[in-house]
Amino acid sequence: MSFPKDFLWGAASAAAQVEGGWDADGKGESIWDTMVREGNHVAHGETPAVACDHYHRFREDVALMKEMGLKSYRFSISWPRVLPEGTGQVNTAGLQFYIDLCDALLEAGIQPLATLYHWDLPTALYNQGGWANPESPRWFEEYAEVVSQALGDRVYAWMTFNEPQVFVGLGHVLGIHAPFRHDDSPTLCTMTKHILLAHGRAVSVLRRNCPCALVGMAPTGDCWLPEDHTPEAEEQAYQKSVALPKNFEFSNAWWGDPIFLGRPPADAENAVGEHMYTLTEEEWASVSQKLDFYGFNCYQATAEYGPPDGYGSYAYQGSPKTAIGWNITPEVLYYSCKFWHRRYGLPVLITENGYAGLDFVMLDGHVHDPQRTDFMHRYLLQVQRAIEEGIPVLGYTYWSFTDNFEWDSGYSSRFGLVYVDYRDQKRTIKDSGYWYRDVIASNGANL
C-alpha cells in the first residue's frame, strides 16, 4: 500500500508570516506588529508589516497552488484582523478576507486547513495580561465563535493552536519571540492552564459550528531516533520522546498528554513541583475532548550534543544540514508518525516539514534548489514507509508555500516552494515546487 487516494498533499503558511497588510481595512495590531517595532528583536530590523502581501495577492497565490496541484493549504487566521481589540467589535472586512480565501481555494479544488492561533496575539489582549489572564480562554472562545460561524464548513480541518511549545518556550522563557519575555515557572503553569482551557472551549465551538470539519491541533516537540535498529533502542527513543524534560514547556507530553490523554504528564510534579496547575473534572473533560487527528510539525530529530565528540548519535563531522543549520534526518518523519500514533491513538497529519535554503533567482530566471527537492524526497520516503506499515497518515504539509517572515530571523530564511522577491513581490515557483507538483500528480508513485 502506498499513499492513500485522498492523501492531503499540502503546503502551509501563517498569517503574520505572509499576509502583510498590517493595518489594512481595520486590522488591529498583534504583538508581532507592535513589539518588533519597539526593540531590536528581528534580524536587520525587519518586520511583518508587508511580508508577502498575501492579504492583497491571495488570488495570485491560490493560482500558483493550483498550478502545483496542491490538495490542501494550511493557513492561519489573524485574530486581530478579525477582532482588532481581541474581543468585541468584529472587523467584517478582515473576516471577509478569510471567506474569500477559502472560496478561492475551494474553487481551485484545494482543501482549506485553518489554524486559529499561530502566535499573533492581539496587542490589546496582551496589554491585559495575555495568556496569563484567567479571562483568556473566554477571549479565545469568542474569537473561535466569530471565525467558525463565518467560515463554517468551508474549512476541511481546523487546528486550534500551532506549537504551544514554541510560542510559550521562545516567547515566554527564552525571550526570542514576541512577547520577548522571561517568565517564571508559576506563570508558565498558569498560562498552560489557560491555553489548555482555551483549546477545549474552541473545540466545543468548532464542533457546534462546523460539524463536518476535522478538528485537531499542530504541536511540535522532541523526537529521538533509535541508536540502532533493535526494538530496545526504538523503545528507548520513544520513551525519551514522550518524557518531560527540565524545559518542560518545549515537550510533547506537557501539552499532548492533557489534551489527548486527559491527564497531566506523569512526571509533572517533578518538573514544576507545587506550581502545577489543577483543573476540575469538568475542565479536564473539555480540554481532552476527542480530536480527529494528531497534527505535528517536524523538521529534525532531537540531538544530544556533548562529550566525547560533541555530536548526537546520527550527526557526525560534516553531516548534512539545511542552510540554517538544522540537521537533515529523514527518519524523524517515520518515527514521529509511529510514536505519535502509538502515544495518542489517532491518525496523524504532518502539519509542517520543510527545508530552509539560500535560494535566489538564477541567471536563467529559475530558482534551482536541488537540496530542497532531495530533502523532500528523503522525508517523503519515510512517510511512505510509515504508511506501508499501516500507520494512518492523513497528509503531508510542506512548510512553506511561499518564502516568508521567519520570526526573529526575518526574511533571510527561505523555506518556500515559491520564491518571493520582497522588492517587487514577484513570485517564482522553485524547481522543488515543480518537482512536488509531479509527486502530487502521481500520488507519490514516482518517489
**Where does 356-435 show beta strands of DSSP type E?**
393-399, 418-421, 426-429
With b for 16 or more beta-carbon neighbours within 10 A and e for fewer, the 347-375 pattern comes to bbbbbbbbbbbebeeeeeeebebebbbbb
> Given strand 348-353, what is the order of strands in its sheet?
214-218, 157-162, 111-117, 72-76, 8-12, 393-399, 348-353, 294-297
Alpha-carbon span 299 to 174, nearest angstrom? 20
Contacts of 205 (CB under 8 A, 6+ apart): 141, 144, 145, 148
Closest distance to ligand NOJ from the beta carbon of 151 (Å) = 21
* 33 forms part of the interface with ligand NOJ (CB under 6 A): no
* 170 forms part of the interface with ligand NOJ (CB under 6 A): no
Catalytic residues: 163, 352
Closest distance to ligand NOJ from the beta carbon of 2 (Å) = 27
* 46 forms part of the interface with ligand NOJ (CB under 6 A): no
DSSP 251: S
Closest distance to ligand NOJ from the beta carbon of 300 (Å) = 11
DSSP 258: I
* 336 forms part of the interface with ligand NOJ (CB under 6 A): no
What sign does the CA torsion over 71, 429, 301, 197 have? negative
> Which residue of 406, 414, 416, 430 would you call a contact of ligand NOJ, by CB under 6 A?
406
> Which residue of 29, 222, 352, 403 would you call a contact of ligand NOJ, by CB under 6 A?
352
Closest distance to ligand NOJ from the beta carbon of 360 (Å) = 19
Closest distance to ligand NOJ from the beta carbon of 14 (Å) = 5
* 396 forms part of the interface with ligand NOJ (CB under 6 A): no
> Which residue of 136, 162, 286, 353 would you call a contact of ligand NOJ, by CB under 6 A?
162
* 209 forms part of the interface with ligand NOJ (CB under 6 A): no
Q: Which three cell numbers stand for residue 286?
A: 473539555
Using DSSP's 3-state secondary structure scheme, residue 116 falls into strand
* 392 versus 410: smaller Cβ distance to ligand NOJ: 410
Using DSSP's 3-state secondary structure scheme, residue 166 falls into helix
Give the binding-site size for ligand NOJ (rule: CB under 6 A): 8
* 14 forms part of the interface with ligand NOJ (CB under 6 A): yes
Residues that bind ligand NOJ (CB under 6 A): 14, 17, 162-163, 297, 352, 399, 406
